[in-house]
Structure 1
Amino acid sequence: MALQQIFDDASSVMTVISFVTFLGIVGWTYVLRRSSDFDKAALLPFADEAGESGHG
């Protein structure tokens, strides 16, 4: 019975840690207004297309 309580407590702790992590990511993304960094990162998949036109 004590082992079940340990797993229940660990599950609760992990839920809180996950929620705090989620809030941190949301805060980092929207509150800090890092849109210029994200705009640059959004173009990264297309950065090599000009150099790959002759391959494939």
Structure 2
Amino acid sequence: MDYGTVQGIITIVVMVTFVGIFAWAYSGRRKAQFDEAANLVFSDDEKHKDSGEHK
């Protein structure tokens, strides 16, 4: 195997990995978990409001 073949194989592996991550991130099954994670920033504020604490 020469350098060009190895470089081609690495390119294909990286491309397949990228497509896999893209499909995982935009799949409908993960939407609920990502929405929950996006709202974690606000959960701390709600906890402090309920307990009457202020920072």
TM-score, normalised to structure 2, is: 0.57
Structure 2, unaligned runs of 5 or more: 49-53
Structure with bigger helix share is 2
- Unpaired runs of 5+ residues, structure 1, are none
- In the TM superposition, structure 1's runs of 4+ consecutive aligned residues that sit over 4 Å from their partners are 45-51
Question: For the residues of structure 2 that align with 1:9 and 1:45, how far apart are their CA atoms?
Answer: 47
When the two structures are aligned, how many residues end up with a matched partner?
49
Aligned-pair Cα RMSD in Å: 2.6
**Aligned twin of 2:12:** 16
Identity of paired residues, percent? 33
